[in-house]
Amino acid sequence: MRHARALSLALLFTSSLVACSASSDREDSPVDTGVADTAVADTGSAIDSTVKDSGSADTGASDSGAADGGTADSGGAADTTSADTSPTDTGTADTGTADTGATDTGTADTGTADTGPADTTPADTAPTDTGAADTTVADSGVDASDTSTEAATFGSAPTCDGTVASGEYGSHVEGQNQYTSASQSWFLTWDDTNLYVAVANANVAEGAVLYLDKSPLSPPTSGSDTSGNLAGQVYDGAGFSSLGLRADLVVYVKDGYREYRTANGTGGWSAAVANTWGCFAKNGTTRELAIPWSAIGGRPASFAFFAYLVSGTGFVYGEAPTALPQGSVGTTATANAYFLVGNSAPGGSKPFATALP
Ligand SMILES: [Ca+2]
Ligand SMILES: [Ca+2]
C-alpha cells in the first residue's frame, strides 16, 4: 500500500524521475573490538588495557599503568614510576625522581633531582647542584678542575668529635693547615662561622692557649689599646706580659673547661666567657674545638695568632711558632712570634705558611 502510494506520487509531479527502490536496514560504523577511546584513537600500539587516554594518543609505547596527565611520550620508554610534569623527557626515561627544573639532555638522573641549570656533560651522582652548571666534572667540593669555573669556597667544616680525620682541616702538610712543634701537632682552618683548632698528642687535661689579633697592624705592636692588648693573660702560672701583636682574643681550653676573653679597649681583658660557646671534643690525646667568630664580631679579613700548651704547673710546650719561649717561662715572658694570615677569604692564606718575625 505504502509502496504503491510513493510510486503514484512520483508519477504525479515529474515523469522523468527514476523510481526509488526499496531499502533494507541501515549499516552502523565498524564494530568495537575492545575498549573504546573517548577522545583520540591509538595509532601505534596495543589497546590500552587499564586506563583510557584522555588527551593525546601514545605514539611510541603503550601506557603500563598510570596515564600521563599532560604530555605524550614521544621517544623513549614508558614512564614506570612517576609521571613527568614538566618538561618532556626526550631521551631516556627517569627511573627514580621526576625532574622539576631542568630538562635532561642526554643522561638520566639516577638519584638526585637537578634544581639548577641543566647538566651539559656528565651526570652528577652526588651532591645536588644548587647553582652553577658543571662544564667538565661533577661537583664534589672544591678541586683543581673546578677552580676556573667556580668561585672558591670554604671546604667542609671539621667535625668536632675529638678525632682528626685525613684532610679534615685542609692540607695536612707542615706549614699549610698543620704545624708540628716537638711532638705536638696543631691543625687550623676556618669558615665564615668558626675558627677550628685541633691539637694532637697532648694531655687533654692540660691547657691549650691561643691568642688572636683580628686587625694586624704594621708594625704589629703599633697603634693603641683600642686596637688590642700588648699584655697577655696568665694561665696555670705561665703568662706573657709582652706580646708581639695587639691581641683581641685569648682562648684557653682543656678537658672539662674552656674560656675566652676579649680585649676591653683599655689594655685589659674582659671577664671569662666560659663553656657556653662553640664546641670542645677530645679522644685520647687529641682535642678539637670550634671558636665562633662572633666572639670578635665576625670573621676578620686577616688575622695573626700564636698558640701553646701549658701544664698545670706552668710548663709551656708545643709552642707555635717554635720561636716562642718554652719551658717554665714565668709570668713576665715575651711572646714575640706569631703566624700572619694575610687573607682569610676562601682560597686565601694558609694558617701556618707565614711565621713572623
Ligand atoms: Ca674531627
Ligand atoms: Ca688587634
Q: Is residue 279 part of a domain?
A: yes
Output 240 or 141, whichever has higher pLDDT: 240
Cα–Cα dist 222/281, whole Å:
37
How many other CB atoms are there within 10 angstroms of residue 232's CB atom? 21
Residue 179 CA to ligand 1 center (angstroms) comes to 17
- pLDDT category, 151, cuts 50, 70, 90? low
How many other CB atoms are there within 10 angstroms of residue 27's CB atom? 6
CA of 197, nearest ligand number? 1
Residue 201 CA to ligand 2 center (angstroms) comes to 30
Q: Is pTM, for the whole model, over 0.85?
A: no
CA of 163, nearest ligand number? 1
Residue 341 CA to ligand 2 center (angstroms) comes to 13
Residue 261 CA to ligand 2 center (angstroms) comes to 13
Q: Is residue 351 part of a domain?
A: yes
Q: Is residue 340 part of a domain?
A: yes
Q: Is residue 86 part of a domain?
A: no
Q: How far is CA 282 from CA 85, 174, 216, 307, 316, in A?
A: 51, 22, 31, 18, 20
Phi-psi region of 170 (alpha: psi -120 to 50; beta: other; left: phi over 0): left
Q: Is residue 31 part of a domain?
A: no
Provide the number of structural domains found in the chain.
Answer: 1
Q: Is residue 280 part of a domain?
A: yes
Question: Residue 205: what residue type?
Answer: A
CB 242 within 8 A of CB 231: yes
Of the given ranges (128-137, 209-218, 263-272), which has the lowest mean pLDDT?
Answer: 128-137
Cα–Cα dist 61/52, whole Å:
14
Block residue for cell numbers 678539637: 288
DSSP tag of 146: G
Could you give the residue ranges of the DSSP H alpha helices within the chain? 2-13
Residue 288 CA to ligand 1 center (angstroms) comes to 7
pLDDT tens digits, one per residue of 33-57: 333 343 334 443 444 433 444 434 4
pLDDT at 108 over 90: no
pLDDT tens digits, one per residue of 342-353: 999 998 999 999
Question: What range defines the domain where residue 310 resides?
Answer: 178-356
Residue 170 CA to ligand 1 center (angstroms) comes to 12
Q: Is residue 212 part of a domain?
A: yes
CA of 283, nearest ligand number? 1
Q: Is residue 17 part of a domain?
A: no
